[in-house]
Structure 1
């Protein structure tokens, strides 16, 4: 990341604020995006000096980077297809065509990871370490975020879905009890299965260290009161609620620095 004066107008990838040409902002070379200074508090801290001297993006990873790269790859492929189809009118076709939903979904997912990543980064202290976008060995999949606290490890999956997350319970007396995660009208129970698998991977690595899991829905239709719940041991909640839970994980004997190093060496940046 680099703090610089923008040559061209842009928009903050975190808060969508307009950034006119000449504005001081943060340029992220890996994702080729910009952030306003308000969304990178350390950039303005006099104790840290120029941004980048004391930050360690290669160690913690960049939130949403793999999803952002996949979006850019798909977008470029879609545009190439249109240009090949329309020839000289290809540029006009690209300008007038809407993005395919399958391509846009990667952009939306990247934004969700980036926003949650920024909130998690604001919690980072000697007692809380955060890793982003970690590749699962032997797989094309990745873990969105991992938080290490004195109380244990948190595996966090960020989602940016529309609708209200709810827990639907079926059976329980004459039939086996089944818990389903519903977001709007969409059955998202498979997301819980995914987090449970990631929890298992961390437990295999860390042994007796407690490992918890969370599904964090960014921009979902959460109620004003209540709303958070757990299903099969996985917390389902929003960024502010997650940050509060992590900040409370002060009781425990987990060596945060050593555990972070061990996890980072096993789960590399995606």
Structure 2
């Protein structure tokens, strides 16, 4: 069964399994879906009215895949360790791998990827003409990346998910006779370096977009122990919160129109390619 839909699309039963570009749900072979001719991607029929990806100067913009580079690094480290163990212990390598755990330096990449994937799926579900999303963007000339960029009516949000256990809090030291110092704590751990990293990403993005487009940084703690009331805070202009606090912030009305949002989105996509 095949039916044409408006534009360069076709509603059909898939010959091969695929993944919905909007919500990333797996689509089995023979499942009914919408095929986008221009981008050679598919999406669920529940996204019948979802617009095809906006065009940039060189064609459709690639929004990127949430957590892609972290997932690749985890798999690379895992495979490298398996190869080392099996090479060193030809007979017992399999048993050693079964009975031992991956080192923390490897599992941290998996932990990070899961957080990015979780936030990314929800951001994709929120995407619209007034809320554009870019995932896992490579910073040219650096090994670093930006996890999520969300272009909204209120400007650009640089979103950095963190999957930390414990309760985030703001500790303020000094004042009056000593310089005021703000520290981001997660339980007793000093995680202020996360704020430093977020500020650097915000400054980078400010240098790319137009001067009149606001840029805000967000540290979104995915599985932390937040209190029933309050909890979210801002330190050095970086918002520290959790997913249910993030999404209304992104969907709030603002002064930027659809044309400015699209221009900003295309500018960022061009300057910061997928990692």
TM-score interval (norm. to shorter): 0.7 to 0.9
CA RMSD, aligned part only? 2.4
Q: CA deviation at 1:48?
A: 5.7
1:156 equivalent in alignment to 2:159 = yes
Q: CA deviation at 1:91?
A: 1.4
1:222 equivalent in alignment to 2:235 = no
1:45 equivalent in alignment to 2:46 = yes
Q: CA deviation at 1:25?
A: 3.4
Partner of 1:180: 183
Distance, in Å, in 1 between the alignment partners of 2:208 and 2:235 is 24
SS state at 1:163 partner: coil
1:262 equivalent in alignment to 2:263 = no
**Ranges in structure 2 where 5+ consecutive residues have no aligned partner:** 1-13, 29-42, 55-59
Distance, in Å, in 2 between the alignment partners of 1:75 and 1:190 is 27
Matches within 5 A, 1:203-218: 203-206=206-209, 207-218=211-222
Distance, in Å, in 2 between the alignment partners of 1:121 and 1:113 is 12
Q: CA deviation at 1:150?
A: 1.8
Shift of the 97–268 alpha-carbon distance from structure 1 to 2, 3 Å rule, reads same
Matches within 5 A, 1:166-177: 166-177=169-180
Partner of 2:34: none
Deviations 1:76-132 (A, max 9, x none): 011111112211111121122111111111000000000011111111011000000
Q: Which has the higher helix share?
A: 1
Q: CA deviation at 1:26?
A: 4.3
SS state at 1:154 partner: strand
Deviations 1:131-169 (A, max 9, x none): 000001110000000000122111111110111000000
**Ranges in structure 1 where 5+ consecutive residues have no aligned partner:** 6-13, 15-23, 28-41
Q: CA deviation at 1:269?
A: 0.2
Q: CA deviation at 1:4?
A: 3.3
TM-score by length of 2: 0.79
Q: CA deviation at 1:251?
A: 3.1
Instruction: Look at both structures and tell me which one has the larger radius of gyration over its CA atoms.
Output: 2
Distance, in Å, in 2 between the alignment partners of 1:46 and 1:133 is 23
SS state at 2:158 partner: strand
Distance, in Å, in 2 between the alignment partners of 1:45 and 1:257 is 24
Partner of 2:6: none
Matches within 5 A, 1:60-75: 60-75=63-78
SS state at 2:213 partner: coil
